[in-house]
Amino acid sequence: MRKHTALRVMTATAATAGALSLGLAGPAAHASTPLDYVALGDSYSAGSGVLPVDLSNLLCLRSTANYPHVIAARTGARLNDVTCGAAQTKDFTEAQYPGVPPQINALKADTDLVTLTIGGNDNNTFINAVTACGSAGLLTGGKGSPCKDKHGSTFTDQIDTNTYPALKAALREVRAKAPGARVAALGYPWITPAAADPSCFVKLPLAAGDIPYLRDIQAHLNAAVQRAAEETGAVYVDLSAVSEGHDACADRGTRWIEPLLFSDSLVPVHPNALGERRMAEHTMAVLGLD
């Protein structure tokens, strides 16, 4: 995952201007001219593991309670949700599975709004980092930083070398297909706390020194998403501040991300229903849709 970057401050004037440009001056605008909204992205956008499941495409593990559906319900937008679990940037322009066309096929010249999370599955960053660090943590009983010691900058190097240019290319493809749309690229909400908490080991079996290491990878990924968004004219939706304290180590009812062990979801280390709602609410606030 990715690293720090300066937060963009949106003024009330900018938010109002953005709302007007999308025909979102108020509830009446929603009713008379609903937004043509296309949701792209991976499992964090699909809401994989959150019930109810979208039965129209079981391969994608998409939920009808994911953040795109929340945004659409609250704004009156016409939603075309093509999010898909395990999607990588290449799946924007290639078929992810038989019968699952490239995601950008859903975009049109008159698309008004596009949201997405993407990049976490490129190089298998999320799954490789969590699996490697979880296994190492179990072997050391939570002591030291075995994952960091073994892998060092491997994950962040892959993000810089492979994921960042792929993100930029994917966002350019989105812009080409929907030149008039407002595009929002969301960062990933925190999976781990900022520092080790002994009580967390039963939920996330990571060594104490690997908690900040894994968080640094995620921050690095988010920074790459932000950089690619800014360089392609997209809006970056920074979830780092609002998701602080809602990581997988937090209690039920507080956490936005389900833990690896004793999870309430069949898809652990992913947002739960609360997380999807909060992602929607923050995205709407950043875009001036609330």
Residue 290 has a pLDDT of 73
Q: Contact 45/66 with Cβ under 8 angstroms?
A: yes
CA triple 275-272-164, angle to 5 deg: 65
38-53: pLDDT as tens digits: 999 999 999 999 999 9
User: Per-residue confidence at 32, pLDDT binned at 50, 70, 90?
Assistant: low
CA–chain centroid gap for 262, Å, is 22
Q: Which of 43, 45, 48, 243 is catalytic?
A: 43
Question: What mean pLDDT do residues 152-168 have?
Answer: 98
Per-residue burial over 9-43, b = 16 or more CB atoms within 10 Å of its CB, e = otherwise? eeeeeebeebbeebebeeeebbeeebbbbbbbbbb
Residue 197 has a pLDDT of 86
Instruction: Inform me whether the pLDDT recorded for 1 exceeds 70.
Output: no
Lowest mean pLDDT, pick from 20-24, 74-78, 264-268: 20-24
Q: How far apart (Å, rounded) are the C-alpha atoms in residues 287 and 290?
A: 8
Instruction: Inform me whether the pLDDT recorded for 257 exceeds 50.
Output: yes
Q: Phi and psi for 53 in degrees, rounded to 5?
A: -85, 140
Q: Which residues are within 8 A (CB) of 66 and not within 5 positions of it... i.e. 6 or more apart?
A: 39, 45, 46, 47, 50, 81, 83, 276
Per the annotation, the verdict on 43 as an active-site residue is: yes
180-198: pLDDT as tens digits: 999 999 999 999 999 988 8
Percent residues over pLDDT 90 in the chain:
87
Q: pTM value?
A: 0.88
Which among 211, 182, 214, 204 has a CA at the least distance from the CA of 262?
A: 204
**List of domains in the chain:** 12-287 (3.40.50.1110)
Q: Which of 69, 220, 246, 270 is catalytic?
A: 270
Q: Phi and psi for 213 in degrees, rounded to 5?
A: -65, -45
- What SS3 class is residue 100? strand
195-238: pLDDT as tens digits: 988 889 999 999 999 999 999 999 999 999 999 999 999 999 99
Q: Which residues are within 8 A (CB) of 125 and not within 5 positions of it... i.e. 6 or more apart?
A: 1, 119, 155, 158, 159, 163, 217, 221
Residue 253 has a pLDDT of 97
Question: What mean pLDDT do residues 143-157 have?
Answer: 97
User: Per-residue confidence at 108, pLDDT binned at 50, 70, 90?
Assistant: very high
Instruction: Provide the H-helix boundaries in 48-144.
Output: 67-75, 125-139
Q: How far, in Å, are 89, 236, 290 from residue 30 at the CA level? A: 31, 23, 12
Residue 6 has a pLDDT of 35
Instruction: Inform me whether the pLDDT recorded for 252 exceeds 60.
Output: yes
